Amino acid sequence: MLRITLLTLCAAAYASITDCSKCASLFKIDALGFWPDPAIKNENSTISFAYTNPGPAVTAGTSKYSYTYNFIPMSPTTADLCTQTTCPIAPGAYNQSSSSTFPNLSGTLVIKIEWFDAGGKQLLCAQINTKVK
């Protein structure tokens, strides 16, 4: 299951969710979603990914989560990919989602989610831009 360790958004405006791979990722992102949009303080918000792995199977890798809060970069976090999603990731289509409760923040928040295979090749990249109420 996809876990987003610090999905801390409270949107005052609609969130923008984009594929930030510039067509360079091994996986193809088919759809991204975020709801409720805008997010509500102290309630769960959910991000969803629909993606396709054209092959080969991925048995190991790294997930990286980068954040900027009010345009100030925070230290990125990394984790074993297989603790964030089920491995192996065989060729095929996948739908995954993760929910988090949003704390009391205000300002601009950008979250970048990247997955890499064991050789360091980017599997996917998604970026969420939002205003925090």
pLDDT at 124 over 70: yes
Q: Is the pTM of this model over 0.85?
A: no
User: Between these two residues, 133 and 24, which has the higher pLDDT value?
Assistant: 24
Contact predicate 38/17, CB 8 Å: no
Q: What is the DSSP letter of 110?
A: E
pLDDT for residue 131? 73
| Chain length of the chain | 133
The domain spans of the chain are: 16-132
Q: What separation in angstroms does the CA of 22 have from each of 10, 29, 52?
A: 27, 11, 16
The class that CATH gives domain 16-132 is mainly beta
User: Between these two residues, 36 and 25, which has the higher pLDDT value?
Assistant: 25
17-34 residue pLDDT tens: 899 998 899 999 999 988
Place 113 in a pLDDT band, splitting at 50, 70 and 90. Answer: very high
